[in-house]
Structure 1
Amino acid sequence: MRRLLASRTLRGRLALMALAVSALWIAVLTTVFNLALDQRLHAQAQDVLRTRAQAVAATVDIGPDGRLVVREPAQDQALDSGVWIYQGTRVVEKPPGTPTALDARANQLAGRADVFADSAGSAPSRLYAYAVRDPGGGEQVGTVVTAVSLDPYRSTANTALVGSVVLAVLLLGTVYLLTRLVVRRALRPVAAMSATAERWSEAGTSERFGSRGRPAELATLATSLDSLLDRLAAVLRDEQQQAAELSHELRTPLARITAETEWLTRRPRDADEQRASQEAIASAAATMRRICDSLLSEARTRGSAVPGRCRVRDLLRRLAAAGAAEHPDAPAVTVGGEDVSAGVSDTVAERILMPLLDNARRYAASSVTVGCELENGAVTVYVSDDGPGVPADFTASLFEPGRRADPGDGHDGAGLGLALARRLARAAGGDIRLADAGTDDEAGTGARFVVTLPTG
């Protein structure tokens, strides 16, 4: 049955399910009908036997000597057929030409009262024994046995059984065909909506289905499809915007590399000029590499089934030590917090935290504080500095690619660090936000970034 119902289409499954349920119900009805019919025919046969026995007993008189006298009414062939009359166990009258088995079965009923019995053989019959009693004393003095062939009743039962089975098969076939037609017609709007949604998602159209004027089920489906199209459109817009902004930002270091290369090859330069050009080329290439590496890490993190695991406090200490060696003039970084593990790799966590540490070192007046703790089932990492903080009018644009609070601050960054860090954090199942200095006591007067990462 399970294989039968395992159709590839919803229409086929519904039709087969309806067929199975209908088959079960029709089988129950057919069985009940035939059992009821058999009981009814059984009762009719007994009524016929009882009526005939009473009619024959009315023709039997008891003589003065106690012997039974049978009156012979006119046209008594119907009464004589299948009738035995006994006085005690002696047969007074019996039908001519009866089979031996039936005659023997009737003899066994002599002297009994109100008893039914069956006779097997080539012609099965049912017999009934009716007592003939003395009107004066009520004592049984004789027995009338009547018999009726069961062939007509069984023929009727068999005909009804075959007819009900044929009718059931026809009904099941009709139910299956009608169910397929009805389900196909009912699912036609669903198929049309799915095809339209697929076409709209490919084209990025702004059209939506809407739930007005639709049945409740299709209204729910339309709402779900509209939500899916909205999410697809949002992802498409985000990817397009991100690609455009990254293309624009990558063009700047690439143009610098091209210009410096041309400047070096146009005419001879002294050693200091060559070294300055090479450093500029190396810096632009490093910027491009950081952008590309962050995007690759984000893509790998988003598609990775096993994101990895890292000890956050140990990583913060390594990053602080590496920053102190590369930037000896930068403010000191203080590492604190709990020894917790995050469910991301060291590489991904480093690319998320490094832009925050770079910004903190750049803007801090005298110190940078970093730490980690386990909070609300997630790893929380905070990066704080005592610098000027983020301007209020720039807070909304802080994580937008290519945006900088002060483009003229002498820093040659592309404005992509925080945007890529948040993008990578969200791909890993976390996020980055700027803490509100007005409500966060630990934020101080500078900037405080809070990073959430999944637990390891």
Structure 2
Amino acid sequence: MLRLRPRGFRTQIVASTVLLMAFVMVVLTAGTQAVLEWNTHNDVRRVLDERTQAVLPIVRATSKPLGEQSWESIEPLSRVYDAHGAPVGGSIQHIAESDAAALAIKALATGQRQEAEAHDNLNLRAAPFTTRSGERGAVVVSESSDPYERTELEALIAMIVLGLLVVGVAGIIAWRVTRQALEPVEQMAERAADWSEHDLSHRFDLGTPDNELSKLGETLDHLLDRVAAAIRAEQRLTAELAHELRTPLTTIQGAADLALLRGVADEDAREDLEAISAAARRMTGVIATLLDLARERGASAKASTSLAAVVDALRPLVPDHLELVDEVSETTVPVAAPATLVVQAVSPIVENAVRYARSTVRFEARATPDQVHLLVTDDGPGLAATVRDRVFEPGTSGSGGTGLGLGISRRVARSLGGEVDVVEAADGATFVVRLPRR
């Protein structure tokens, strides 16, 4: 399924401005056209009124029969008809002759003015009259609305061009204004994110907040203070816990190893001592990992390593009776993290694969524009459905272990800007470690 990229705030503002200006220009164009159309109708009626009023006094004042009168002095585009509807003088457009005659006959029959629209936007008006001698007739005047409609079309084209220019200029202005207004905010956000990961000592320190940017700077400074305090507290707590736990664990492991060196005749007692020594060694490794996480939080972004070096460090974890399939060696994309932390992130996953694999442990690598994926696959029974959803939770184990390894692996990966997940596999179990690439 195609996923649309979320629009930025700047894009939303520009799009809203363009849509608003386009709506305004459409309304203005429609309003202008409505006003022009109304004016056109009124102008045509006014011209017809003027021509009618100019011709009627002339025809009414004549005392001769209409057929004998000379009509050279009447208005152009005006024609006089006798009582039978026959033209006796004047001129009118050729294409409107039949319509004008019919309109004159209708006016004579009703005794009232009549209006009609002929071909090619010709507007006609017929007015009945009676001469001084008592003869009846009708005058038909015409006016074409083409010039007025051409004016409307030219106005429409001008409004469309003007609307496009206004919308384009409004979009450009909105883009420039929002860029100038939001660019400092974007820079401050990027700097705050960079400082929170690499150097917590930096602050914006914009002084007394007297505008929106200085208020934002003060808020980010307070946020960085809280982040720095939280990280220092975490580092301090981790260091104190590591110190408090290392001493008894060293004592336990040393006592167990010393007892094993002296020799233990009882087989069960020897197995118990070996289990105690191994557990103490694992716990020491976990504590060392947590302590390294706390100490190298800032240095991780500056270091880099290759997956080939990571796999070389992980090889001793795979025993000889299992086949190690290495498909990582050809990947040359560096990982943006220290080799020690990457190894600590992947080690619990490899140990889990070794624990359940029947014959093979496989390493694969895939590169994306932003990340490097390291896949660890075993050909074991796979993850049970009851364990899959909570395999990274502390205390979750399918073999009776402590269930701490995979949880620590995810925590280390996230501290490096990556992630650890379970991948669906046909056989066995596949874990993918996603790490940022350099």
Q: TM-score range by the shorter chain?
A: 0.5 to 0.7
SS class of match (1:204): coil
2: distance between equivalents of 1:28 and 1:7?
31
Instruction: Identify the residue that residue 25 of structure 2 maps to in structure 1.
Output: 26
Distance 1:269 1:59, change over 3 A: closer
Determine whether 1:126 maps to 2:101: no
Of 209, 216, 234, which residue of structure 2 is paired with 1:213?
209
Check 1:234–1:89 CA distance in 2 against 1; reply closer, same or farther (3 A cut): farther
2: distance between equivalents of 1:200 and 1:288?
A: 36
CA distance in structure 2 between the partners assigned to 1:270 and 1:7 by the alignment: 68
Distance of 2:288 and 2:116 partners within structure 1:
95
Q: Secondary structure at the match of 1:59?
A: helix
- Counterpart of 2:147 in structure 1 is 152
Count of residue pairs the alignment pairs up = 295
Residue 69 to residue 246, structure 1, CA distance change in 2 (3 Å): same
Aligned residue identity for 2:23:
L
Alpha-carbon distance change, 191 to 134 in structure 1, aligned in 2, over 3 angstroms? same
Identify which range, 26-35 or 254-263, moves more after superposition.
254-263
Q: Return the offset for 1:232.
A: 2.6
**Structure 1 position 56, deviation (Å):** 0.7
| 1:400 aligned partner | none
The answer to whether residue 79 in structure 2 is matched with residue 84 in structure 1 is yes
The one of 169, 182, 195 equivalent to 1:187 is 182
1:158 CA displacement: 1.6
3-state SS in 1 of match to 2:157:
helix
Cα distance in 2 between the residues matched to 1:243 and 1:252: 14
Given the two structures, how large is their TM-score scaled by the length of structure 2? 0.53
CA contact (8 A) 2:128 2:137 kept: yes
Task: Check 1:193–1:118 CA distance in 2 against 1; reply closer, same or farther (3 A cut).
Answer: same
Residues in 2 aligned to 1:39 and 1:224: alpha-carbon distance in whole angstroms: 59
Question: 1:240-286: per-residue Cα shift (whole Å, max 9, x none)?
Answer: 11321233123313442565478669xx96979xx999999977876
SS in 2 for 1:131: strand
Is residue 104 of structure 1 aligned with residue 98 of structure 2? yes
Partner of 2:137: 142
Q: 1:183 to 1:51 in 2, by over 3 A?
A: same
Deviations 1:387-407 (A, max 9, x none): xxxxxxxxxxxxxxxxxxxxx
Aligned mates of 1:209, 1:140 — CA distance in 2: 102
Q: Which of 232, 240, 245 is 2:235 aligned to? A: 240
1:52 maps to what in 2?
51
Mapped partners of 2:68, 2:6: distance in 1: 75
In 1, Cα distance between the equivalents of 2:211 and 2:256? 67
Q: Deviations over 1:110-165 (max 9, x none)?
A: 152333211114xx3111123325799xx994322111122211221121111111
- Residue type at the aligned position of 2:159: S
Any unmatched runs of 5+ in structure 2? 294-389, 397-403, 412-438
Between the aligned partners of 1:116 and 1:6, the Cα distance in structure 2 is 62
Q: Is the 8 A contact 2:80 2:89 kept in 1?
A: yes
Offset, 1:47? 0.3
Tell me the distance in 2 between the aligned counterparts of 1:64 and 1:41: 38
Q: Secondary structure at the match of 1:81?
A: coil
Asked whether the equivalents of residues 61 and 71 of structure 1 are also in contact (C-alpha less than 8 Å), the reply is: no
Q: Is the 8 A contact 2:249 2:280 kept in 1?
A: no
Pairing 1:38–2:37 present: yes
1:129 corresponds to which letter in structure 2? A
Q: Deviations over 1:364-408 (max 9, x none)?
A: xxxxxxxxxxxxxxxxxxxxxxxxxxxxxxxxxxxxxxxxxxxxx
The Cα of 1:37 is off from its aligned counterpart by 0.8
Instruction: Give 1:61 shift.
Output: 2.4
Of structures 1 and 2, the larger Rg is shown by 1
The percent of aligned pairs where both chains have the same amino acid is 28
The 2-side partners of 1:47 and 1:6 are apart by: 60
Contact 1:257–1:285 (CA under 8 A) maintained in structure 2: no
Letter in 1 for 2:199: A
User: Do the aligned partners of residues 151 and 110 (structure 1) sit closer, same or farther apart at CA in structure 2, a change above 3 Å counting?
Assistant: same
Give the distance between the partners of 2:11 and 2:394, measured in 1 at CA. Answer: 48
For the aligned residues, what is the CA RMSD?
A: 5.0
The 1:280/1:231 distance shift into structure 2, 3 A limit, reads: farther
AA partner of residue 203 (structure 2): E
TM-score by length of 1: 0.51
- Report if aligned partners of 2:104, 2:138 keep a CA contact under 8 Å in 1: yes
What does residue 354 of structure 2 align with?
A: none
How far apart are the structure 2 equivalents of 1:231 and 1:83?
Answer: 92
Q: Summarize deviations over 1:22-44 as a string: whole Å, max 9, x none.
A: 22221121122112112211211
Residue type at the aligned position of 2:54: A
- The answer for unaligned runs of 5 or more in structure 1 is 300-343, 351-419, 428-456
Distance 2:252 2:179 in 1: 63
CA contact (8 A) 1:54 1:130 kept: no
Corresponding residue of 1:225 = 220
Q: Judging changes above 3 Å, is the alpha-carbon distance between structure 1 residues 141 and 175 closer, same or farther for their aligned structure 2 residues?
A: same
Q: Report deviation, 1:17.
A: 2.8
Tell me by how many angstroms 1:55 deviates.
0.9
**Which residue of 189, 203, 219 corresponds with 2:199?**
203
Matched, 1:177 2:172: yes
Using the TM superposition, give the Cα deviation of residue 92 of structure 1 relative to its aligned residue in structure 2, in angstroms: 5.2
CA gap 1:95/1:220 in 2 versus in 1, 3 angstroms: farther
Query: Equivalents in 2 of 1:71, 1:192: separation in Å?
Result: 92
CA distance in 2, matches of 1:294, 1:95: 114
Q: Secondary structure of 1:178's match?
A: helix
Q: Is the 8 A contact 2:40 2:145 kept in 1?
A: no
Code of the aligned partner of 1:128: R
Would the alpha carbon gap of residues 6 and 145 (structure 1) be closer, same or farther in structure 2, given more than 3 Å must change?
Answer: farther
Letter in 2 for 1:109: L
